Every structure is written in structure tokens, then in C-alpha cells.
Structure 1
Amino acid sequence: MTQMAKGRPLSFWAVFVLATFTTLPLNLCRNLHPSTTTLLDVTSSLRQARNVLSSKPRTTPLNHQQEEEEEEAQHTSSSIVLQLHPRASIGMPQHWHHTDYRSLTLARLARDTARVKSLASRLDLALNRISKSDLKPVDLKIEQQQQYRYEYGVQGIQGPVVSGTSQGSGEYFSRVGIGDPPNQLYMVIDTGSDVNWVQCSPCADCYRQADPIFDPASSSSFSPLTCDTSQCRSLDVSECHNGTCLYEVSYGDGSYTVGDLVTETFTLGSTKIDNVVIGCGHNNEGLFIGAAGLLGLGGGSLSFPSQLKATSFSYCLVDRDSDSSSTIEFDSSLPPDVVTAPLLRNPQMDTFLYVGMTGLSVGGDLLPLSESLFRLDGSGNGGIIVDSGTAITRLQTDVYNSLRDAFSKGTRGLPRARGFELFDMCYDLSTKSSVEVPTVSFHFGEGKELPLPAKNYMIPIDSNGTFCLAFAPTSSALSIIGNVQQQGTRVGFDLASSVIGFVPNKC
């Protein structure tokens, strides 16, 4: 693999230590006197909800000027920088099938529920120590034009790629060059997955994507992997066909990708990276519509950061209904005003990225909860992961109930509305232009606190003024910080020092 440019920036840890001493008075003041309420701009939120359906997003790949802007961003940094787009900024015709924002919200929540169930299912498989031999395909059918299809005896092997604004919970995309010469393709970023893959021709069964299907014959750097390679053995499930390693990633909603495990050249801005392990999918099914494939940002050995040998990466998720963009950066440092927390790893599941969270506060008051409700224990149970693909934060039932009850007390003056799907705390704000709501904050120990903007937990479910508290309970021991709560915050993972950093308003 090509080495990164010399002259790495300071590590996250160095920045964190500096921030501790240079910003202590400000942070201490904020923690001693937390803001008890936060302003929700009702008018702005509803305007954006209406615009996401009335406007027709871009349905073609980036134009030449946009490609040049992304390459220029790469040249101005010693780290690797990619543009990050919400699905709404790419757009597909399926997006226009929703006639109102309520139906769009229903689709998002349905897809989000499928993802959460699948993440929990995959963790259960790991904790129950189901071996790879138990997950081996019982029937591999090789048909004409490499038509691959596995049938599993066990389901839920990998978290599903949710379908974004048009169908589900708001995916985020980066533009990546694959092959030599590079083919520019939109790739979903997903911190809950490790295996990178792209749709390939010949295509036995491919869903619709914004770019042409990748043709391996057009690339001089395309190279299949054999079955005896360590990368092939790292897969949850693999099979051999004529000495070539075949892969399948199966998602909890019935979606899947199947094909050859290969190495390819990736081009990120002006940087070329050779021999990246990627799945070349000839049979792909599901609601990945729009993206050419997936860029796995999880903690496993096949994930993109692991293959880059990156010591850190960060991303900032813009509003899921917007047409703006931000960046995903590898080996870059965070600003001094970062709020830090431990980055924890599950010995039974190396994919998921856990945050050392200790509590929640509502309206400036810590909820009366034991820290054990947020803790990852020695056997791999519990804990809370940071996930770019899950939309709505899921909390253990006791934690959620405490949060909901405290928030309810703090909003007694607001008119209530009926519950909606997984939301049971909703409000009729149709006559309001803005409202004050209790501040919800995440706490990470040592007095560190991350207050959330009101729009990150009070979200519209229709365009008529119904807003709901965007948290939900889960019966699983696994809790998840979703992308709605991450919006507008740069989330950084210092892999070398095992630290997560949060920097608000840094998109």
C-alpha cells in the first residue's frame, strides 16, 4: 500500500492534552453552569422539511468544477480529505415518490428499525461465539455470468446499509476513485461495517446507482485474491471458486452483496492508495439505491481506516435534509475546543466503535442513573456505539424512560401530539415559530459534557408542525448514538490513543 504523505499533523492526543490546559476555565465554567434550555427554530426546521420534497436534488454525478474543488481540498491539507454528502444532495427519482414528509419519515424509521435489529443480531452472534463454520453457506450456486447467491442457515451477519433520505435513515456518501484509471463513484460511509465493496460488471443482479457500474476490465490494477490469503480468512463468510475468494455480506433487511474479493487502487483527491481489499459485487440486492457501494469505517482489519493504517479519522454529518456537504478526513487533528471521551473496543466484536459515556442530563440536571447502564462489560455486553448509519439514538429502556420523563416535565407548557411510530413524546408546534426546550447533554466523565442542539433531538415528522423527541428505547443491551444526534458535530476517532472527540459546529 502506498505510504501517506510525510509530515503528519499532531496526533489527536497531543491536541487533546493542549486543549485540556488552554481551555480549562471555559470548559469548567460550562460544566458548572450548563445551559438549561435550548432554542428550537420551528420555522426553519419546517421550511427544510418542505424543501426536501419540493426541490429536485442532483441526479447526476459531480460536475467537473465540483471534482476540481474536491481535489483542491485534498491539496490544501497534509491529511486525506474527502467530501461528504447527504443523500438529499445526490438525489434519485425514488426520492420523489414520497408525496409528503410524513411518508418519508415513516420510510426512514422502518429502515432504521431494521438496521438496529441487525446490529444487535450481529453482536449476539459474536457474544454467543458462533463460529465461522456455522455461518458457512449451505448452498452456493454459480450460474452464467457469475450469478452468485448464498443461502444462509444463520441470518444477521452484518448490519444493514440503510437506504437514506429516499427510503430510510439518511445515508452519507463520499466520492471515491476506484481502479486505474480511476472511476469516480459514490460510496456510502458506514461505521458499523468493515467490508468495502462496489457493484461490478458482469452484473447478474444490480440495483440502480447514480454512476455507471464499475467494470473490472477497464482497470489495470484489478487483482482477485486467492482463498489462502489472510484477507479471505478474515471474512465472516467466504467460499472458493476456481481458486478465487468469494465473499458475501448479508444485511438484516434481506439485502446482500456477493462477488469476488479483490484488491484495487483507490484515488482520494490527489492521493493514490494501492492494493485496497474490496468486494467486487456481481449480485447485489436491496435498498442501496444511488450508491455504487460501501466504504466500511468500522474497527475490523478489512475496514478502510485499517487498510489505510490511519491513526485517526473524523467526519461531520450535515443535516440529512440539506443539499450541503462536509468532509471526512483521515489522519487529521481536531480543534482545541474538542470534548473528549474514551474510545472502547469490544473483545468479541472488533467492528463497533464504543464511546465511554457515563450519563445524560436534561435541563442541566443529571439523570439519576447508574453508570453501569452505559458501560461495556468484560464479556462484551452493554455499552454504547457511535454509528453513522443508524438515525435515531437508541437507549436501554430504563435510560430512555428517565430521559423521557425528565423532558416531559420540562415541556409541560408545550401542546402535546399523539405518538408516532417509535416516538412516544411528540408535540404540536404548528402555531409556534420557535420554542425553548430543555437542553439534552451527553456526559463522558471528568466533567466533560456535550450539549446537543435542539434540532438534533426535536425533529419534525411531518410538514405541519408535529415534532417528536428523537430518542427511542431498545430491549437490547447495546445502545447506539445515531446520526441525527451527530449532525453538525465533527466526530473524530483517535485510533492510536483510543479517544473519541466531539466538536460542535465544525462541518
Structure 2
Amino acid sequence: MARIQTTFLFNFFFFMCFMLFSIFPINNFILVHSLHQKQHFDVLNVASSIHKTLQIFSKTSPQIRYPNRPLIPTTVTPTNSSVLSLSLHPHVSIVKPRHQNYSALTLSRLASDSARVSSIHSKLQLAIPKPVLKDLQAPITSGESQGTFEYLARVGFGRPVKEFYMTIDTGSNINWLQCQPCDSCYKQSDPIFDPPGQPVLILYHAPRSSVILLVSTGVVVTRVGSVDNVAVGCGHDNEGLFYGSAGLIGLGAGDLSFPSQIKATSFSYCLVDMDSHSSSTLEFNSVPPSDSIIVPMVHNPKFDAFFYVDLVGISVAGQQLSIQPSIFQVQPDGSGGVIVDSGTVVTRLVTQAYNSLRDTFVKYATNLPSTSGYSLFDTCFDLSSVPDDVKVPAVSFHFSGGKTLPLNSRNCLFPVDSRGKFCFAFAPSESVSIIGNIQQQETRVSYDLTSKLIGFSPNKC
């Protein structure tokens, strides 16, 4: 009897396998398996990344050029819904690094980045109150505490127009530039602005767009509308690490930021690879891409100068990390939370989350030869012997509402020299977590200021 049951079960199993493969041919199983693997791993082109690090220091690297042309804005009916677009460039495509090689440039970037993160921690600890609009005076703080500022918008000032490169920063609320007479100024790529009586500011998307934005002490004018009461500061005594930039366009959540002052309903940017000579745009009042991953902003009642998101989890190679969502939440005292910041280079995660992310990444990165750490990076790999492409465990951010943002390999492994040393582009944090610009690169990030939403749309530069 037992033999008959065994024979029956064997025959039944064989029959079910036959039927399964008849309905789903084996090549379909291979395809499903391939797609499954693709979701869990991404491909990094090592040769391309190394080539970019070398191109930065090449004498033949391309330079940005803008044609001279008159800009004549016209005052028309007031509106705050006009789409405004500015050209946005990586710092290295505008100003040649002063460093001897890419490793020295990386160390400089990381040192400045660490200073910026320390500054953010200090501000949060002090719980700086919201600035008062009637007080338009603000100090121009040293770049030692502000960071590297890797992305610049092209801006025109005065009549006749004089063009300048201005740093953009979502972690700042003050708009300013270096002005004559300059008691103490750092070196910038353009001549220092000399205000012609009452300062005026013209923003436009160079080199071909006709969209113009005029900012003065009283009015913002575009070809399709105007906005009143915009203030831009003049810095006469400045120092720090803003090298090459004429000043700052503050995109923060405070009342004095540029979006707030022009009453923009939204703004967005797409940060291209910081080592490239490509460009993208900074846009105001534009509609986000239809495929954007939309997540809610989180309000920090103690400190509203930054944009927070509700990160609830992280996965590596399809494996969800064993961390509680509460470690990413804003605490009653204003600590914690997750900030989206264009001025921070390396993403910081609270230590428990970082350790879990790093260990899981290493677990699945068995094909990547490990090597010693580098500066603030404790996890690095020697890819010098990799001829071209290498598989990298895929990392995804998970937000409330079931929304998932997949990161590509370039958002996870960062070249630190030109010899093939790549490091895991995350670092631990004391309390607050920060999604930095390495993880934002090649993704259009949209800020809906009316509905309090943030959108992420990969590959939309």
C-alpha cells in the first residue's frame, strides 16, 4: 500500500511539473528570474566613472560659454504661477579645481561636507527661531560651516546685465552675493558685483531661453508677471569655501528664501553627476514629471528651515532592513527626522540604520574586493582590476504610503580617487538623517510648497 501511495505521489508531481512548464515555458522562468535579479542588483560602469575623475583635471575639458545679449524685461500683470527656469551646472564644470588630483579634491569635499553637517546639527540643537521679515539683516557665515556647494545657477545682475554663478542650497534661507565695496571677499569666477544705486537681479535660463526674472529691493518681474517685496543681501565682508561662486540662492523652507519671497507654488531641480560637464535646470512653478514618486513633507515644529520626508525603511538587494521606522521620525524636541538637502554631499543616516545598511550591502557585495576606509567612509572597494561593468547590490528608500525610490549604482558607490577605489556613499549621523546630493544625482526633485509634497523622478535631468 505504501509503495502504491509513493508511486502515485511521484506521478502526480511529474504531471504537475509537466503542466506547469507547458503553460509557462522555461524561457519565461528564465526571464522572471532575470528580472528578479535586475531588481536586486544594478550595474556600475567603473571605467566611465574613473574617466570622469580624470577629465576634471584635463587641459582639454569643455568650458561653459554664454553669448552676450541684451535682456529687457517687461512689467505686466502680477502673477505667481509663471514657470521660471534657470540653467544649473556642477561646480567643477565652471571652476577648475585647485587640487592636484581627484583624491585631494575628494578629501576637500568630504572635509567641507562634514563641517556642513556639524553646522546643521548645531542649528538643530540651538532650535533657531523663525526669522522675522522686518529684519532683513543677516550675517554671511563662513563656508567652513556651510559646505562645498557643488551646483551653481547662472544669474544676471544689474542694468546693463552682468552675469554671475550663484550657488543653490535648500538648506539656506538668505539670498546674497558679494558686493562692492568689498572689505574682504573670497575669490569668485566673475567680477564682484557693483550695485548701481538700488541693486537689481535678473535670473534667466542661459543660453537660449527668453524666460527672465528681475529681482530688486521691491519687485520681481518676468515677461508674464511680477511679484513684490523681494530682498537680496549684499555681502561686503565674506570668507570661506564658496570659491568660484558669487553668492547664494537660498531655496530653504523659511520666509526669506527665494521661493517664499516670490510666492512660488513649487520648485524643482535635477542634479547631474557632480563630476560631469553636463547641465540641467532649476525651475519654479513647473509641473513635476508624471512618473514622480510623491511623498509627504514632514513638519518639524521646532525648526522649519529644512525640508523633511517620512522615510520608513530601506532595502538592499530586495531585503528589507530590520530597523524600526520610528528611528527616522522627528521627535517632540525637534531632533531626528530625515532632511532632503541639496548642499550636503554624502547621505547621513542615524547610526543604527547606517550600520544595518552597510552590513547588508557588504553581505550582498561579495563580488566587490574590499579595501581600507577613506576619510569618513568606513566601507570601500578596490575596483581597479574591473575592466568595465560590475554588479552592485540595489538600494531603495521606502516612504510612507508604500512609495519606493530605487537608487542606481552611482548613488551608492562613490569614486574617491582615479585609481579605482570606490566607497559606499553613506555615513553615520548623531541624530538627524540627511539625504544628500550623491543620492539625488540624476533625479528630478520637486518641492510642492502648496500641498507640502516632495517628488522624486529618476533619470529626469
Give the partner amino acid of 1:91. Answer: V
Aligned residue number for residue 47 of structure 1:
51
Equivalent of 1:35 in 7, 18, 39: 39
Q: How does 1:62-73 map to 2 (within 5 A)?
A: 62-64=66-68
Is 1:352 the counterpart of 2:337? The answer is no
Aligned residue number for residue 119 of structure 1:
120
Aligned pair in 2 of structure 1 residues 32, 410: CA closer, same or farther (>3 Å)? closer
Deviation at 1:330, TM superposition (A): 0.6
Equivalent of 2:353 in 386, 399, 403: 399
Is 1:208 the counterpart of 2:187? The answer is yes
Where 2:243 maps in the other structure, the secondary structure is coil
Give the partner amino acid of 1:37. Answer: F
Kept after mapping to 2: 8 A contact 1:122/1:157: no
Q: How does 1:213-252 map to 2 (within 5 A)?
A: 213-217=192-196, 219=198
Could you report, residue by residue, the CA deviation over 1:252-292 in whole angstroms, capped at 9, with x for unpaired residues? xxxxxxxxxx8266677987655421111111111111111
Kept after mapping to 2: 8 A contact 1:394/1:472: yes
Kept after mapping to 2: 8 A contact 1:177/1:266: no
Kept after mapping to 2: 8 A contact 1:359/1:371: yes
Is 1:280 the counterpart of 2:284? The answer is no
Where 2:39 maps in the other structure, the secondary structure is coil
Aligned pair in 2 of structure 1 residues 58, 503: CA closer, same or farther (>3 Å)? same
Is 1:439 the counterpart of 2:443? The answer is no
Q: How does the TM-score come out when normalised to structure 2?
A: 0.80
Q: Which has the larger displacement, 46-55 or 465-474?
A: 46-55
Aligned residue number for residue 11 of structure 1:
none
Is 1:192 the counterpart of 2:171? The answer is yes
Is 1:422 the counterpart of 2:376? The answer is yes
Give the partner amino acid of 1:283. Answer: D
C-alpha separation in 2, matches of 1:362 and 1:50: 30
C-alpha separation in 2, matches of 1:379 and 1:116: 19
Deviation at 1:43, TM superposition (A): 0.9
C-alpha separation in 1, matches of 2:88 and 2:71: 13
Aligned pair in 2 of structure 1 residues 376, 350: CA closer, same or farther (>3 Å)? same
Aligned pair in 2 of structure 1 residues 472, 380: CA closer, same or farther (>3 Å)? same
Could you report, residue by residue, the CA deviation over 1:8-50 in whole angstroms, capped at 9, with x for unpaired residues? xxxxxxxxxxxxxxxxxxxxxxx99981111111111111111
Where 1:276 maps in the other structure, the secondary structure is coil
Q: How does 1:369-380 map to 2 (within 5 A)?
A: 369-380=323-334
Identity, in percent, stands at 50
Aligned residue number for residue 483 of structure 1:
437
Aligned residue number for residue 464 of structure 1:
419
Kept after mapping to 1: 8 A contact 2:170/2:306: yes
User: Unmatched 5+ residue regions in structure 2?
Assistant: 1-34, 73-80, 202-215
Is 1:362 the counterpart of 2:366? The answer is no
Deviation at 1:201, TM superposition (A): 0.7
Where 1:464 maps in the other structure, the secondary structure is coil
Is 1:300 the counterpart of 2:254? The answer is yes
Equivalent of 1:291 in 242, 245, 248: 245
Could you report, residue by residue, the CA deviation over 1:291-332 in whole angstroms, capped at 9, with x for unpaired residues? 111000000000000001011110000000111110011111
Could you report, residue by residue, the CA deviation over 1:104-160 in whole angstroms, capped at 9, with x for unpaired residues? 111110110000000111111117x7999xxx9xxxxxxxxxxx999xxxxx99994
Could you report, residue by residue, the CA deviation over 1:165-212 in whole angstroms, capped at 9, with x for unpaired residues? xxxxxx211122233444322110000000100111111111111222
Aligned residue number for residue 248 of structure 1:
none
C-alpha separation in 1, matches of 2:290 and 2:131: 44
C-alpha separation in 1, matches of 2:315 and 2:425: 15
C-alpha separation in 2, matches of 1:196 and 1:346: 23
C-alpha separation in 1, matches of 2:105 and 2:39: 33
Where 1:350 maps in the other structure, the secondary structure is coil
Aligned residue number for residue 233 of structure 1:
none
Where 1:346 maps in the other structure, the secondary structure is coil
Aligned residue number for residue 147 of structure 2:
162
C-alpha separation in 1, matches of 2:224 and 2:347: 36
C-alpha separation in 2, matches of 1:400 and 1:67: 49
Deviation at 1:447, TM superposition (A): 2.1
Q: Which has the larger displacement, 477-486 or 207-216?
A: 207-216
Aligned pair in 2 of structure 1 residues 394, 221: CA closer, same or farther (>3 Å)? closer
Kept after mapping to 2: 8 A contact 1:88/1:321: yes
Aligned residue number for residue 99 of structure 1:
100
Kept after mapping to 1: 8 A contact 2:142/2:239: no
C-alpha separation in 2, matches of 1:438 and 1:368: 17
RMSD: 3.2
C-alpha separation in 1, matches of 2:420 and 2:413: 11
C-alpha separation in 2, matches of 1:301 and 1:358: 29
Equivalent of 1:81 in 85, 88, 91: 85
Give the partner amino acid of 2:110. Answer: L
Kept after mapping to 2: 8 A contact 1:339/1:449: yes
C-alpha separation in 2, matches of 1:53 and 1:123: 38
Kept after mapping to 2: 8 A contact 1:362/1:438: yes
Equivalent of 1:453 in 397, 408, 427: 408
Aligned residue number for residue 474 of structure 1:
429
C-alpha separation in 2, matches of 1:491 and 1:268: 24
